[in-house]
A and B are shown apart, each in its own frame.
Chain A
Amino acid sequence: MKVRLALTRMLPVWAVLAALLLGMVLVALAGANPVSAYRELMRGAFADLFGFATTLVKTTPLLFAGLGVAVALRAGLFNIGAEGQIYLGGLAAALVGLYVHGLPAILHIPLAMLAAFAGGGVWAFLPALLKVSRGVNEVITTLLMNYVGIYLVSFIVGGPLIEPGAPYPYTRPLDPATNLPLLIPATDAHVGILIALGLALLLHVLFARTTLGFQLRAVGANPSAAAYAGVHVNRTLILAMVMGGGLAGLGGASEVMGLKHRLFEGFSPGYGYDAVVVAFLSNGQPLGAVAMAFFFGALRSGANIMQRSVGIPVAIVFAIQGLAVLFLAASLVVQRRSRAREPRQPWGAQHIDVAKPAAEAVKHEPL
């Protein structure tokens, strides 16, 4: 009985391991030795300081955006629009970096981050509004907003903001006061990761101990019952989406301010989509998201090395991620059936049933 409990709690881990196993098959299909490929993967991610720094760099946006998707998920919403929110957040931060001058870093950085939060939040607001007022499924709307967001930013970077004479679209450098300090000198790793970790901790406390967290969880678990108890469900749903969008937007800011110090067209290679995987696999738990984001950050970082030494395309990482979620979705069914006999949930007071249908906004409730 206890063994079974431990097994079911570890489901995301099993899902990831299973996916990794299948990944070995893919590697073999591509004509390389799976064992040496994975060894190169691990080496690239952890073996030396530079590899580890790269892992941290890749983890940072994944964590920000993953937290963004997680917050929405706890409230029962599927925010698949993290990618677009990252872009809008990056844009907002870049605008602050390009047009505001003369502030010390201690003010400039928070200002840019605030702008990024607003940018991502605004981008999530429209799908939230459509969901609450017209019941339009947020999955499709957030997905569509991704495309609009990416093209919008591309247009702005390639047009009005472009650095004159640039070989490909990027902006002028941002005010140096917005640069995030380095965490590990002589590498790319910047303090963005610390900010993200801090936010993860904050969110953990939010969900476990605050009234707002209780409210979000209640709406996510049973919006009807929450409504009948007097909770403003629609307002909560909008809040959750906007918070989620804002967090993802911070991921964009972190990339722009910490890594390149300019806004590049296409600066996010799909971090927003990975963030969805991170959130699903961690069941919306902020601390779990840290672990998952780190794992996938390591995968991405190591995959580059793997590609260089063994020739396996980096895209295998996406395949592994998707497979992990598939296995998890399938295995959650098993977990749900055995949950009836379990005592209290250990990982936070609430279990997100990712196997339940998504949140239904409450009709008739005034906004």
Chain B
Amino acid sequence: MSGPDQKPILRMEDISKRFGPVQANDRISFAVRQGTVHALLGENGAGKTTLMNILYGLYQPDSGRILLRDRPVHVASPRAAIQHGIGMIHQQFMLVPPLTVAENIVLGLPPRRRVFLDLASVESEIAGLSKAYGLDVDPRARIWQLPVGMQQRVEILKALYRKADLFILDEPTSVLTPAETGALFSIIRRLVAEGHSVIFISHKLEEVMRICDEITVLRQGRVVGTVPASETSTDALARMMVGREVIFRLDKGPTRPGEVVLEVRDLSALNDRGLPALRGVSFNLRRGEIFGIAGVDGNGQAELAEVIMGLRPPTGGRIVLKGLDVTHLPLRSRIAQRLAYIPADRHRFGVIQDFSVADNLVLKDFYRPPFSRGAFLDQSAIAGHARTLAERFDIRITNVHQPVRQLSGGNQQKVVLAREASGVPDLLNAMQPTRGLDVGAAEFVLRTILAQRDAGAAVLYISTELEEVLAMSDRLAVLYNGEIMGIVRPREVSLEEISLMMAGSLRKSFAPLESVG
């Protein structure tokens, strides 16, 4: 196979797609040359996933056309896409957990032996393919048993089994440790060497520069430009992505940590499947500091947040909030101690879509004065409160009785933020606070959290976006497999060390109970 001077294997011309009021894709055109890794780079909400869903037949474009090997095609469904040799590895895996690898791979394919699945021969074929591409997957394992990196390889295998030429990888590194990312990149190079082509969707500049040959930058549904990687830089790309010089400029002053607000001692807990998710976690958190929790998703972060809030019972250990042992106290009592929480999935857990903005803003306090007198709600107090907060937090609404469902994602997050941050909590638990937000909204959220810190709150900042955690935290802990691998200051640790901690290969000794320095 020759190098990247081949003709384009894929051309998408003038693709447009609208969802209600949102123009997700606006006359997008780009081409992918055979045997190359082509990046689709853009912020959250730029339209990358929509475009690829169109290519994969999950959506139909409003206008425009797709050409494969210079022939126009109509991709009516994923089945058609597969037949055209397109394989997609989604950000959230399309794998059925209780089934085995072989069963997942063969799902949707016609029977081998008259009416029966012939799992035995499928399994040996899979083993062969796996070896040929260096994927190391056990065909008989059940998906729920496999670690995330391995599951991703099952997805790649699935596409290979169906003889895909063109691979679409949607934000593949978001669930990987830095080391696993390296392994993925080797696999991608292997695919390309064998003549396949890869579309790499991402919002991470360094990775895109590392692995991709050509980069198409999307912003707000439009193509900003297409450049070869060799002729650009991360700064140039950033400018194209955001239209500004730098993505975030956080004015983060130095911190003066005060008294201890939260003490976590030897905390252990089980996850939903009954397996240990937290194993003896201990740390202290002081007023006026941001304590970050870094780590690949699924290493206990969600469970840690839930246990601290009171949504999950611990199996061992203690939680002391401002000197009060709250380990077994219900959530409401902890809220009374001025504990606030910004959940990761705000659509589901942060707001009630059908309730009005005003009602959502009093979700934690509706049963107390001033929002209620005796058994009755004080509607005017609730409405007034809402108006004040809407102004302070710049929540774009037409009136406070509007159902939250009508607000944009960014504004919904502001509702959550307003509710949790307005009372200057003593402890603010923020989980993935900028996920899915566009740059403007994300910046607002981060600034608000910093303001809370400066006003004296203790902030527990949990995120899988490593750059964000590093930028925001005064101190951070790396969580791996339910254990803290180390507590460090961002400026005093190298990316390599963090990477090793996230993968569980390095344990940095630390004095958990005292602030460093």
Inside 8 A of A229's CB, which chain B residues have their CB? 335, 363-364
- The B-contacting residues of A in range 195-254, CB under 8 angstroms, are 209-212, 214-215, 217-218, 221-222, 224-232
Shortest distance from the beta carbon of A206 to any chain B beta carbon, whole Å? 9
Contacts known (A232-B330, A364-B311); A211 close to B377, Cβ less than 8 A: yes
Inside 8 A of A232's CB, which chain B residues have their CB? 330, 332
A353, CB-defined interface residue at 8 Å: yes
Contact assessment for A228 and B349 in the assembled complex, using a CB-CB cutoff below 8 Å: yes
Tell which of B70-78, B397-405, B497-505 binds the partner. B397-405
Closest to A366 in B: B330
Contact assessment for A340 and B20 in the assembled complex, using a CB-CB cutoff below 8 Å: yes
Shortest distance from the beta carbon of B366 to any chain A beta carbon, whole Å? 5
Contact assessment for B377 and A214 in the assembled complex, using a CB-CB cutoff below 8 Å: yes
In the complex, what distance in Å separates the CA atom of A350 from the CA atom of B364? 18
Q: How large is the interface on B (under 10, 10 to 19, 20 to 34, 35 or more residues)?
A: 35 or more
Inside 8 A of B309's CB, which chain A residues have their CB? 228
In the complex, what distance in Å separates the CA atom of A152 from the CA atom of B242? 71
In the complex, what distance in Å separates the CA atom of A215 from the CA atom of B376? 12
In the complex, what distance in Å separates the CA atom of A218 from the CA atom of B362? 11
In the complex, what distance in Å separates the CA atom of A363 from the CA atom of B351? 19
Inside 8 A of B170's CB, which chain A residues have their CB? none
Inside 8 A of B402's CB, which chain A residues have their CB? 343-344
Contact assessment for A227 and B356 in the assembled complex, using a CB-CB cutoff below 8 Å: no
In the complex, what distance in Å separates the CA atom of A349 from the CA atom of B354? 9
B516, CB-defined interface residue at 8 Å: no
- The A-contacting residues of B in range 310-360, CB under 8 angstroms, are 311-313, 330-332, 335, 341, 343, 348-356, 359
A345, CB-defined interface residue at 8 Å: yes
In the complex, what distance in Å separates the CA atom of A20 from the CA atom of B403? 34
Inside 8 A of A344's CB, which chain B residues have their CB? 356, 399, 401-403
Contact assessment for A349 and B359 in the assembled complex, using a CB-CB cutoff below 8 Å: yes
Contacts known (A210-B376, A363-B272, A366-B330); A227 close to B354, Cβ less than 8 A: no
A39-59, CB under 8 A of B: which get 1 and which 0?
A: 000000000000000000000
Contact assessment for A226 and B352 in the assembled complex, using a CB-CB cutoff below 8 Å: yes
Q: How large is the interface on A (under 10, 10 to 19, 20 to 34, 35 or more residues)?
A: 20 to 34
- The A-contacting residues of B in range 258-303, CB under 8 angstroms, are 272
In the complex, what distance in Å separates the CA atom of A232 from the CA atom of B272? 19
B100, CB-defined interface residue at 8 Å: no
Inside 8 A of A226's CB, which chain B residues have their CB? 352, 363
Inside 8 A of A224's CB, which chain B residues have their CB? 348-349
Inside 8 A of A214's CB, which chain B residues have their CB? 359, 366-367, 377
Please classify the interface of chain A as helix (H, G, I), strand (E, B), loop, or mixed, using the class held by over half of its residues. loop
Contact assessment for B331 and A210 in the assembled complex, using a CB-CB cutoff below 8 Å: no
For B332, B354, B403, B405, the residue with the greatest tally of chain A CB atoms inside 10 Å of its CB is B354
In the complex, what distance in Å separates the CA atom of A230 from the CA atom of B334? 9
Inside 8 A of A345's CB, which chain B residues have their CB? 403
B448, CB-defined interface residue at 8 Å: no
Contact assessment for A209 and B359 in the assembled complex, using a CB-CB cutoff below 8 Å: no
A351, CB-defined interface residue at 8 Å: yes
Shortest distance from the beta carbon of B415 to any chain A beta carbon, whole Å? 11
Contact assessment for A210 and B354 in the assembled complex, using a CB-CB cutoff below 8 Å: no
Contact assessment for A218 and B352 in the assembled complex, using a CB-CB cutoff below 8 Å: yes
Contact assessment for B375 and A222 in the assembled complex, using a CB-CB cutoff below 8 Å: no
Inside 8 A of A230's CB, which chain B residues have their CB? 330-332, 335, 364
Contact assessment for A211 and B376 in the assembled complex, using a CB-CB cutoff below 8 Å: yes
Contact assessment for A225 and B330 in the assembled complex, using a CB-CB cutoff below 8 Å: no
In the complex, what distance in Å separates the CA atom of A210 from the CA atom of B377? 5
In the complex, what distance in Å separates the CA atom of A223 from the CA atom of B363? 12
In the complex, what distance in Å separates the CA atom of A212 from the CA atom of B355? 15
Contact assessment for B354 and A350 in the assembled complex, using a CB-CB cutoff below 8 Å: yes
Shortest distance from the beta carbon of B21 to any chain A beta carbon, whole Å? 10
Contact assessment for A228 and B350 in the assembled complex, using a CB-CB cutoff below 8 Å: yes
Closest to A351 in B: B354
Contact assessment for A215 and B367 in the assembled complex, using a CB-CB cutoff below 8 Å: yes
Closest to B331 in A: A230
B372, CB-defined interface residue at 8 Å: yes
In the complex, what distance in Å separates the CA atom of A226 from the CA atom of B350? 9
Selected contact of A211 from candidates B352, B367, B405, CB within 8 Å: B367
Contact assessment for B354 and A353 in the assembled complex, using a CB-CB cutoff below 8 Å: yes
Inside 8 A of B376's CB, which chain A residues have their CB? 209-211
Inside 8 A of A211's CB, which chain B residues have their CB? 366-367, 372, 375-377
Contacts known (A214-B377, A229-B363); A340 close to B405, Cβ less than 8 A: yes
Contact assessment for B348 and A222 in the assembled complex, using a CB-CB cutoff below 8 Å: yes
- The A-contacting residues of B in range 387-443, CB under 8 angstroms, are 399, 401-403, 405-406
Contact assessment for B405 and A221 in the assembled complex, using a CB-CB cutoff below 8 Å: no
Contact assessment for A209 and B354 in the assembled complex, using a CB-CB cutoff below 8 Å: no
Selected contact of B348 from candidates A209, A225, A364, CB within 8 Å: A225
New A-B pairs, 19, CB < 8 Å, besides A228-B343, A340-B406, A353-B354 = A209-B376, A209-B379, A211-B367, A211-B372, A211-B376, A221-B353, A222-B348, A222-B352, A224-B349, A225-B351, A227-B331, A228-B341, A230-B332, A230-B364, A232-B332, A344-B402, A350-B355, A364-B311, A364-B312
Q: List 6 A-B contacts (CB under 8 A).
A: A210-B375, A221-B354, A222-B352, A222-B353, A227-B311, A230-B332
7 closest A-B pairs by beta carbon, nearest first, are A230-B332, A229-B363, A222-B352, A211-B367, A230-B331, A229-B364, A221-B352
